[in-house]
Amino acid sequence: MAVLLTLKGINILMALGLVAALPSSSPREKADLPLAQTRIPARPLVSSDIPGPRHSSGTPRPGINVAVDDPELGPIAGSTGSVFNVDRQVAYAVDVEVQWGSYLLILDTGSSDTWVVTSPFTCYDRVTFDPVPVEECNFGPSFSGERPQQAASDMAFALMYGGNRYITGRMGSVDLSVAGITLEDQLIGFAEAGAWRGDNETSGLFALGPTAYTSASTESGAAEYDGVVDTIVKGGHPPVFALALSRDIERSFITLGGVPDIETGEYASAPLVPDEQGEYLQYFIQLDTIQAHVNGDEEVDSGSGSGSISIQFLLDCGTTVNYFPEDIADAVNAAFDPPSAWDADRRLYFTDCDAVPPPLRYGIGGKSIAAEPSSMVLPMVKRSDGKCATAVSRNTATEYGILGAAFFQGLVVAFDVEAMDVRIAERVD
């Protein structure tokens, strides 16, 4: 089921001063949510291909993630192999115990199907769709345990991502452990074929999206099953998970069953937005404003003049950059010093790699949340002329915005899947 949202109007307030109605956060505040008992590191990761939001109707959404080894971008400085190279990551990954083995899986709040690659795996070229050597899909270790009996059943899955990426295989029940929580008989996908280009480290995807967006099927049609988040809640754990991501691996982790016990500013709260049928397929929220400084004290006000941004935004840590409406993206990128310029071929803005980004703040639930300045330039995505991509692009391929991994950095983002809201706070730890 595809999510289609209508662009009703856009407004951006960009001024030297902050909007008085949106108080900035203050330190040492706690969310009205339980504290998690344990946490698991979320490793900053450089990958040649990071999956973005999938399209459940079987047609991939246009590529919205950055391929850091794209030949069109020119040479990339340094090695792209180490997941610990915290200055150049485009995604995050977590260690997940699947049956008796540990696998590094890409963390994704924009999809709902957790899967791990198996052996043998049939790899296909993403352009010609011809079979190619499995090494060209660049997976990490394959699942090495005994294949679950259910993997031979008639329940299959098929996922399509941007950039002509797709994964197919069978579903199976395994014991899965992460962040101190063990999920017995959790249904996950066992990838048997597809078109992919990974990083030689990660072995699949750890998906934290709503169950309504899962993609399993049988000969009779769609077969909904409990995703990881629903299984956690039904197991008696608090219905909350949180991401505290950072380019500093020592400060980057996720928690399940509560929020991390760290110092933050005041939490902003925003309800999750269902689709027209009232289903929560993905984690969409509404932003009040996006604010930045432009040209000293010059005030720029573009959009509909409605006083709020009525377009909805998807919270998706599996997407590299943020995708804003075009006029907002243009204004934010013009505020870099030096200004960044739109590259239509690559669908990204580029500027000097040492450019100074504008102070950027998001109005959420009547409060003002500051973006992490270091997240605004992507030194790992460099053109042959030496220019680096910024972390704000245009949502030309969708009618909604996306708050990607760059948004999550430096914040605690907590999802309450029972109250169907999200709490967001600046980190001060």
- How would residue 99 be classed by pLDDT, with cut points 50, 70 and 90? confident
The count of residues in the chain is 429
Q: Are residues 218 and 275 in the same domain?
A: no
pLDDT of 368 reads 94
Q: What is the pLDDT of residues 261-277, one digit of tens each?
A: 999 999 999 999 999 89
**Structure-derived torsion over alpha carbons of residues 231, 91, 197, 353, reported in degrees to the nearest 10:** 170
Residue 173: CB atoms within 10 Å: 18
My answer on whether 230 and 287 are in the same domain is no
Q: Are residues 220 and 279 in the same domain?
A: no
| In a shared domain, residues 223 and 271 | no
Q: What is the DSSP letter of 142?
A: P
The catalytic residue among 49, 113, 288, 316 is: 316
Residues 139 and 158 in one domain: yes
CATH number at residue 417: 2.40.70.10
Residue 239 lies in a domain: yes
- Same domain, yes or no: 87 and 232: yes
Does 6 fall in a domain?
Answer: no
pLDDT attached to residue 150:
60
* DSSP per-residue letters across 250-284: GG-EEEESSB-SS-B-PPEEEE----TTS---S-E
Q: How many domains does the chain have?
A: 2
Residue bearing tokens 């769709």 = 129
Catalytic residue among 49, 108, 288, 416: 108
Of 285, 70, 288, 92, which Cα lies nearest the Cα of 163?
Answer: 70
Could you tell me if residue 1 is inside a domain?
A: no
- For residues 334 and 378, membership in a common domain is answered with yes
- 285 plus 208 within the same structural domain: no
Determine the structural domain holding residue 179 and report its residue range. 40-256
Mean pLDDT to the nearest integer, 280-297: 83
Whether the per-residue pLDDT at 29 is higher than 70: the answer is: no
Span of 142-156, 322-336, 337-351 with lowest mean pLDDT: 142-156
61 three-state secondary structure: coil
Q: For tokens 């909904």, what's the residue?
A: 224
pLDDT for 144 equals 79
Give domain status of residue 420, yes or no.
yes
Mean pLDDT value across residues 85-100: 71
The answer to the question of residue 283 being in a domain is: yes
Report yes or no on 159 lying in a domain: yes
Phi first, then psi, for residue 299 (nearest 5°) are -100, 130
3 occurs within a structural domain: no
- How far is the C-alpha of 181 from the C-alpha of 256, rounded, in Å? 8
User: Are residues 296 and 217 both part of a single domain?
Assistant: no
pLDDT tens figures, 331-367: 999 999 999 999 999 899 999 999 999 999 999 999 9
What integer pLDDT is reported at residue 38 of this predicted model? 72
Using pLDDT thresholds of 50, 70 and 90, give the confidence band for residue 46. low
| 325 contact partners, CB below 8 Å, separation of at least 6 | 7, 10, 303, 309, 311, 394, 395, 401
Task: Specify if 88 maps to a domain.
Answer: yes
Q: Which residues of 51-61 are buried (b: 16+ CB within 10 A; e: fewer)?
A: bbbbbbeeebb
Q: Which residue has the higher pLDDT, 84 or 292?
A: 292
Among 213, 228, 256, give the residue marking a domain's end: 256
Q: Assign 31 a pLDDT band (cuts: 50, 70, 90).
A: low
Buried b (16+ CB within 10 A) or exposed e, 15-44: eeebeeebeebeeeeebebebbeebbbbbb
**The two three-digit tokens of residue 144, written as one number:** 């090495």
CA separation for the pair 199, 238 (Å, rounded): 34
Q: Residue 182: which of 101, 97, 103 has the closest Cα?
A: 97
d(CA 254, CA 257): 10
Q: Where does a domain end: 229, 256, 283? A: 256
- The 3-state DSSP class for residue 229 equals helix
User: What mean pLDDT is reported for the chain?
Assistant: 79
Residue 193 sits in the same domain as residue 107 = yes
Tell me, yes or no, if 343 is annotated catalytic. no
In the three-class reduction of DSSP (H, G, I as helix; E, B as strand; rest coil), residue 82 is classed as coil
Q: 108 catalytic, yes or no?
A: yes
- The Cα-based distances of 139 to 7, 77, 225, 399 in angstroms read 38, 22, 26, 32
Three-state DSSP class for 326?
helix
Residue that terminates a domain, selected from 194, 226, 256: 256
CA distances from 109 to 49, 92, 359, 384 (A): 16, 11, 26, 32
Give yes or no: residues 73 and 121 share one domain: yes
Pair (150, 280) in one structural domain: no
DSSP assignment letter at 24: B
Q: Does residue 58 register a pLDDT over 90?
A: no
- The pTM of this model reads 0.82
